[in-house]
Amino acid sequence: MKKFIVEGGNLLTGNIKISGAKNSAVALLPAAILSDDFSTIYNVPSISDTHNLIHILELLGCEIKFMDDTLVINSKNLENKVIEEQEACKLRASYYFMGSILAKFKKVEMFFPGGCNIGSRPIDIHLKGFEKLGAKVTTQGNKYLIEAEELIGANIYLDFASVGATINLMIASTKAKGITIIENAAKEPEIVNVATFLNNMGAKITGAGTSTIKIEGVTSLSNGIVENIPDRIEAGTYIIIGALAGKDLVIEGVIKEHLDALLSKLKEMGVNFTILGNSVKISKGENLKAVNIKTLVYPGFPTDLGQPVSVLLTQCNGTSLFEETIFENRQGHVPYLNKMGANISPSGQNLIVKGKTQLNGTDVSSTDLRAGASMICAALVANGKTTIEEIEHILRGYENIVEKLQQVGAKIIIEEKV
Ligand code: UD1
């Protein structure tokens, strides 16, 4: 077991380079098996989620080369094996193998996926979509069996614009017979990234990034190549750290449009930042104003930045209302922030944050990935030493976080727990 020790309160200066997106990579890797040949994915982050997926790809018979941040997958000898439960439940995104193995073999057996405990997280929309494509879905203990004689294109209306369901159904229908239309599709940039990858292999997908995606089925897919997009959630986390503790901190390699919802809130608070091409230069905000934030599907304010931004709200003067509309249980960070000196009252899924409050270092824990990120944000602005436990969650999603922060002057070390 590892923990972070952070000595807070000093200003961070220099450059932080953003890695490839976790949420895109975790879909691109399972999608790669649709190719009957080689796939190349650039800008893959070296985080535990991608390493776990690489391990699953190897179990399925793929040959992998991972050099620097380039991943080459040879899926010529792919076999339809059941992914062990202990592998499937290490991360949420193992469920993308449902779509890709189903498309490839017309039959898949999958254990329930894992991931952060931030709500009940059903996958009924995925399963209903597979059924619309002609598959039969049965539950056997804690495993799904999904099979079809033939996948046939269909009109699928998603009850909710789910990111996971949109990607999974897009993957599954790539090789279905005829045309599939996904309506009320999610519009997140990661979906466009996956569609680009599949199209490069020979798929016929149009409309990704809008609420209607059209997929014309093809019979086979060959070499695929794609550049993973920059991680907008990692970028947003470091931008928030800049607003808390930066002094001309430069966050490099971002796509500004992916961050508009966050940047517009920072502007409303009165945070000082400038956009320089693909970089954001940001400094610690003084006399910040309280603002109201509501999480929404893209291009709204991302739920994944809710926990980090709530730390920034503790540094704003006045009362802020933070409304979480996507997941019912994203409040694991609140008791720890209050222990550090924040004044946050949960109200249902929402938070009422009263500021400005001085945060003080203490012993805290990461209850999930983004709650852990919020602990780092808080520790960097707090007086004194903070010890963060259960950092395995954080390491699932933030590449080289210790090195990146140390490079800009943060006092953070990783320690093996005895
Ligand atoms: C993805 C992201 C996650 C992000 C979330 C919302 C990955 C690996 N994870 O998660 O970081 O927080 O999008 O931007 O990309 N729902 C159902 N039934 C379903 C599917 C979803 O009820 O079949 C509900 C969920 O419980 C949740 C909401 O829809 O309340 C959104 O879920 P979804 O967009 O699917 O999120 P994920 O793909 O799990």
Q: What are the two backbone dihedrals, phi and then psi, of residue 51, each rounded to the nearest 5 degrees?
A: -65, -40
Distance between CA 57 and CA 63 in Å, rounded? 8
Which atom, in ligand 1's list, is nearest to the CA of 26?
Answer: 8
Among protein residues, the one whose CA lies closest to atom 39 of ligand 1: 164
Among protein residues, the one whose CA lies closest to atom 28 of ligand 1: 326
Residues 202, 221 contacting (CB under 8 angstroms): yes
Among protein residues, the one whose CA lies closest to atom 19 of ligand 1: 123
Question: What is the rounded radius of gyration, in angstroms, for the C-alpha atoms of the chain?
Answer: 21
pLDDT at 401: 97
Q: How many CB atoms lie within 10 A of CB 39?
A: 26
Q: Which domains does the chain have, with CATH numbers?
A: 2-19+230-416 (3.65.10.10), 22-227 (3.65.10.10)
Distance between CA 194 and CA 208 in Å, rounded? 9
Distance between CA 1 and CA 411 in Å, rounded? 20
DSSP conformation class of 288:
P
pLDDT tens digits in sequence order for the chain, 418 residues long: 899 999 999 999 999 999 999 999 999 999 999 999 999 999 999 999 999 999 999 999 999 999 999 999 999 999 999 898 888 888 888 899 999 999 999 999 998 887 667 667 889 999 999 999 999 999 998 899 999 999 999 999 999 999 999 999 999 999 999 999 999 999 999 999 999 999 999 999 999 999 999 999 999 999 999 999 999 999 999 999 999 999 999 999 999 999 999 999 999 999 999 999 999 999 998 999 999 999 999 999 999 999 999 999 999 999 999 999 999 889 999 999 999 999 999 999 999 999 999 999 999 999 999 999 999 999 999 999 999 999 999 998 999 999 999 999 999 999 986 6
Tokens representing 408 are: 């800009």
Q: Which is nearest to 377 in space by CA: 305, 323, 299, 302?
A: 305
Distance between CA 329 and CA 349 in Å, rounded? 7
Q: Does 116 qualify as catalytic in the annotation?
A: yes
Q: How far is the CA of 60 from the centre of ligand 1 (A)?
A: 26
Amino acid at 63: E
Distance between CA 266 and CA 316 in Å, rounded? 11
Residues 392, 371 contacting (CB under 8 angstroms): no
Tokens representing 62 are: 């793929």
Among protein residues, the one whose CA lies closest to atom 4 of ligand 1: 304
Tokens representing 134 are: 């002609």
Q: How far is the CA of 10 from the centre of ligand 1 (A)?
A: 36
Q: Which is nearest to 376 in space by CA: 356, 353, 348, 404?
A: 404
Residues 344, 314 contacting (CB under 8 angstroms): yes
Distance between CA 401 and CA 410 in Å, rounded? 11
pLDDT at 199: 98
Q: How many CB atoms lie within 10 A of CB 17?
A: 16
pLDDT at 91: 82
412 by Cβ neighbours in 10 Å (0-12 / 13-18 / 19+) ranks as buried
Strand order in the sheet with 318-323: 293-294, 318-323, 350-355, 343-347
Q: How far is the CA of 180 from the centre of ligand 1 (A)?
A: 21
| E strand or H helix that includes residue 227 | strand 224-227
Tokens representing 339 are: 């222990």
Residue matched to tokens 């109200």: 347
What does pTM read for this prediction? 0.97
List beta partners, residue 72: 40, 65
Among protein residues, the one whose CA lies closest to atom 3 of ligand 1: 304
Residue from 95, 125, 160 to probe ligand 1 pocket by mutation (most atoms less than 8 Å from CB): 160
Q: How far is the CA of 299 from the centre of ligand 1 (A)?
A: 15
Q: What are the two backbone dihedrals, phi and then psi, of residue 318, each rounded to the nearest 5 degrees?
A: 115, -170
pLDDT at 418: 63
DSSP conformation class of 235:
H
pLDDT at 142: 87
Among protein residues, the one whose CA lies closest to atom 5 of ligand 1: 163
Residue from 26, 121, 168 to probe ligand 1 pocket by mutation (most atoms less than 8 Å from CB): 121
Angle value at C-alpha 412, between 406 and 418, nearest 5 degrees: 135
Which atom, in ligand 1's list, is nearest to the CA of 303?
Answer: 12
Q: Which is it for strands 136-140 and 155-157: parallel, antiparallel or unpaired?
A: unpaired
Q: How far is the CA of 185 from the centre of ligand 1 (A)?
A: 12
Which atom, in ligand 1's list, is nearest to the CA of 167?
Answer: 38
pLDDT at 416: 85
Residues 217, 254 contacting (CB under 8 angstroms): no
**Active-site residue, selected from the candidate residues 62, 89, 116, 316:** 116
Q: How far is the CA of 172 from the centre of ligand 1 (A)?
A: 18
Distance between CA 365 and CA 336 in Å, rounded? 7
Q: How far is the CA of 228 from the centre of ligand 1 (A)?
A: 20
Residue from 50, 326, 330 to probe ligand 1 pocket by mutation (most atoms less than 8 Å from CB): 326
List beta partners, residue 204: 216
Residues in contact with ligand 1 by the CB-under-6-Å rule are: 23, 26, 92-93, 119, 121-126, 160, 162-165, 186, 303-304, 326-327
In the chain, the N- to C-terminal Cα span, in Å, equals: 8
pLDDT at 1: 84
Which atom, in ligand 1's list, is nearest to the CA of 91?
Answer: 8
pLDDT at 116: 65
Q: What are the two backbone dihedrals, phi and then psi, of residue 53, each rounded to the nearest 5 degrees?
A: -70, -35
